[in-house]
Amino acid sequence: MTLHTQYVVDKKGQYQKVLLSMEDYTELLECAQDVIDASLIEEVKNDKRIPWKKVKDKKGRKRK
């Protein structure tokens, strides 16, 4: 991923803001979400699994 950034600096030359195109901003957000998703998957990958049929049956009983 290559970002095409522009910076806003103050009179002292200190960076104050970053400007990104909407395309770059969207791509950056998607990458950040991928990192968050990977972290969440890592947290639960060793959790106990529940068979889909059991979840489906239990959910169906609550709707009646």
Q: What pLDDT, in 10s, does the model give residues 26-58?
A: 999 999 999 999 999 999 999 999 899 988 888
Residue 1 falls inside a structural domain:
no
Q: Domain containing 55: what range?
A: 6-63
Cα–Cα distance list, 56 to 27, 45, 47, 59, 60 (Å): 36, 21, 19, 5, 6
Residue 30 falls inside a structural domain:
yes
The answer to pTM > 0.75 is: no
pLDDT, position 15: 97
Instruction: With a cut of 80, say whether residue 9 has pLDDT above it.
Output: yes
Residue 33 falls inside a structural domain:
yes
DSSP code of residue 49: P
Residue 44 falls inside a structural domain:
yes
Decide which of 56 and 8 is more confident.
8
Give the containing element (helix H, strand E) for 16.
Answer: strand 15-19
Number of domains in the chain: 1
